[in-house]
Each structure stands twice: as structure tokens, then as C-alpha cells.
Amino acid sequence: MDIETNKTVYSKEIEELLEKEKKARLANDHTACADILPEIVQISFDAKEYKQLNDLIRTLAKKRGQPKKAQINMVQRCMTFIDKIDNIFAKLELVNTLKEATEKKIFLEVEYARCALILAKNKENDEKYIDEAAKILQDVQVETYGSMDKREKLEFILYQMKIMIKLKDRVRLQIISRKINKKNINDKSLADLKAQYYSYLVYYYTHENKFFENAQAYKAIYDTLKDNEEF
């Protein structure tokens, strides 16, 4: 089958599915919509029609009356595409599109945070763009996300702290550090994150000449490492 024939078949499949999606949505058939949306994006991804994939995500996410479950299924399917795209520009465009599609939607808050993190990490290692990385993260309040597990939430906040250290912004570093309740990081499964958290506090206390607090942070690191020999 030649390229033109492939594109014709692809276009026809998408057209038929979009018609089905419209009928299901207008009929309030949430189950059908939840099945059709991930199928649409899957076909686009398989065909490597990345531009149309992004356009479809934006369009389908904004459709009036689009069921939440359908949007969740579509976005979660698209999240699996990210690591499968080799072209960095196509990958970041997809992440940007998903971030836009999930913004201000509580039922997709975890996916929104993950997209923001991917975009921030892409800019982290270039000093020219480190401010942009901080801006991407500053509006993501993962500490309020009930649907995100504790480890992922802590990793996100620690990454925010790391960016503030790179920016040498100790005021915001301290503000972000307060998002972590020290009592909630004593779980042995979080020992690595606990040590990382206190190492960031050492940086802050050292530059603020807070000697007592600095000593306490060092002790917390020592105790954590002592109790977890696998480190």
C-alpha cells in the first residue's frame, strides 16, 4: 500500500470515528465516547500524524458536553505516546498540547503536573531558560492534589526546590520547602527523598547563617543514612 493510499485510509478512519464521537456525545452516550476518543488518538499516533494528533486533542478536549471519562481516557492514552516519540520537537509539542488540554481540570490534575514537569526538565539544564522552567512549575500546586501518590508529590516539590537553588532564589526556596510536612517524610520508603529534602535545607540554612537549623538538617541526613544502609 503506497503512502497516498495509507493517508486516504487514515483520513477515512478518522472521519468515521469523529462522526461516531459526535453522535455519541450528542446522545450523552458517555461509555461510547470514552471508547472512541482514545481510539481516535491511537490511530493518529500509529500513523505518525503528530500535527493532526495535537489538533484532535485540542478539539476533542474542548467539545461542549465532552464526558470527563472520555477526556481522561484520551489524555491517559496520549501520555503513553510521549516516550515513544523519538523526535524531541514532536514530543515536546505533544506535551505542550496535553498540558493545555488538562489545564484547570481537576480530574486531570496529575497529568497536568506530569506534563509541566517534563517541560520544565527540558529547560532546566540551559541557564537561558531556567527562569522559564520555574514559571512552568510555579502554578502547579501538587500539595493540594488528592489523586497524586505521596512519593510523586514529594518528588515534584523537591524538583521545585532544586530549580529555586539553581536560580539562587532562597526566598521562594523556603516558601516551597514549607509545602513538605516533616512528619510525613519519616516513612522508610521515602528515606531517599527525606535525605534529599534536608540536603536542600542545608543549602538554605548555610546561606542564611542559620547554624542551629543547619546542624539539625545535617543530623537528619546522618540519621536517615545510618538507618538506611542501602544508600
Distance between CA atoms of 123 and 135, rounded to whole angstroms? 11
Which pLDDT tens digit goes with each residue over 207-216?
999 999 999 9
Q: What is the pLDDT of residues 106-127, one digit of tens each?
A: 999 999 999 999 999 999 878 7
Other residues' Cβ atoms within 10 Å of the Cβ of residue 146 = 8
C-alpha cell read off for 91: 514530543
Please count the other Cβ atoms lying within 10 Å of the Cβ belonging to residue 218.
16
pLDDT at 3 over 60: no
CA gap 143, 95 in Å, rounded: 22
Contact 141, 180 (CB under 8 A): no
**pLDDT tens-digit series, residues 185-210:** 999 999 999 999 999 999 999 999 99
pTM for this structure?
0.90
One DSSP character per residue, 102-163 reads HTT-GGGHHHHHHHHHHHHHHHHT-GGGHHHHHHHHHT--GGG-TTS-HHHHHHHHHHHHHH
Q: Is 92 exposed, middle or buried (0-12, 13-18, 19+ CB in 10 A)?
A: middle
Cell of 70: 472520555
Q: CA-CA distances (angstroms) from residue 214 to 153, 167, 194, 199, 220?
A: 25, 21, 15, 10, 10
Say which residue, 22 or 124, is predicted with more confidence: 22
